[in-house]
Amino acid sequence: MTLNEHQEDSHLTRDLALFDLDHTLLPLDSDQEWNRFLVKLGVPGSEQHAHDVDRFYDAYQAGTLDMDAYLRHVLGPLALYSREQLDDWHGQFMREIIAPALRPEALALVKHHRDAGDLCCIVTATNSFVTGPIASAIGVDHLLAIDLATDGDRPDGRYTGEWVGVPSFREGKITRTQAWLASLGKSFANFARVWFYSDSANDIPLLEHVSHPVATNPDERLRRVASERGWRILELFG
């Protein structure tokens, strides 16, 4: 962060804009689509793995997901391949799956906050390998995702199939956001308004924590809660 950026952050007139990713800024689930993409590539074992990921996603939607079990399962295959191979596949994934899914409505929403000088961050329960390039393509510089463990001390080392730190899921999204803000010398109180856009009832803890919750393309459970509490409902994709 530059000195000028730090000085801008000190003004209470600046907002904090937080965004979920899947089904919020994207009309799809990036983790599901990544695993389906591996099936398309013919990666050994990927068909059963993608089927298992779909089962975990059903539990996520139902609010019954065992996050540790999900992470142990979904991160394991990343340890089987070099970072070079994974990055090559991901580049193709971005071109063929993600780029066509970048909707102008979502890009315009992010641009609105960026143009206003707001501090923007994507907070997602999907892992950082899958979501890092997506956040960059959307135009958001800050990303809080599931952080992945690597072999040795090198950040570009081979993935181990494990994760590090608090998963950015449910209440963990609050914990991770607070820690990130603290690393900038900030807290929620330093912003005039704090926005959080999400589609999922799993994100109700963080939605309750901000001043401006926005149920964006909400699932049935979140739509019901948003209606009861008078939260704004945004149908971003029509």
Q: Which of 9, 15, 20, 203 is catalytic?
A: 20
Nearest one of 196, 183, 56 to 124, comparing CA atoms: 196
Q: Is 9 annotated as catalytic?
A: no
Q: Is 20 annotated as catalytic?
A: yes
Please check whether residue 217 is in contact with residue 235, taking contact to mean a CB–CB distance below 8 angstroms: yes
Please check whether residue 148 is in contact with residue 43, taking contact to mean a CB–CB distance below 8 angstroms: no
Nearest one of 81, 99, 70, 65 to 200, comparing CA atoms: 65
Q: Which of 22, 29, 31, 118 is catalytic?
A: 22
Structure tokens at 179: 């820690």
Contact residues for 97 (Cβ-Cβ < 8 A; gap 6+): 28, 33, 34, 37
CB-based burial label for 115 (10 Å; 0-12, 13-18, 19+): exposed
Q: How far is residue 83 from each of residues 95, 129, 151, 160, 229, measured CA to CA in Å?
A: 18, 10, 11, 11, 45
Q: 221-231: string of b/e by CB count within 10 Å (b at 16+)?
A: ebbebbeeeeb
List, as one string, the DSSP characters of 118-153.
-EEEEEEEEEHHHHHHHHHHHT--EEEEEEEEESTT
The strand pairing partners of 16, in sequence order, are: 119, 194
* Positions marked catalytic: 20, 22
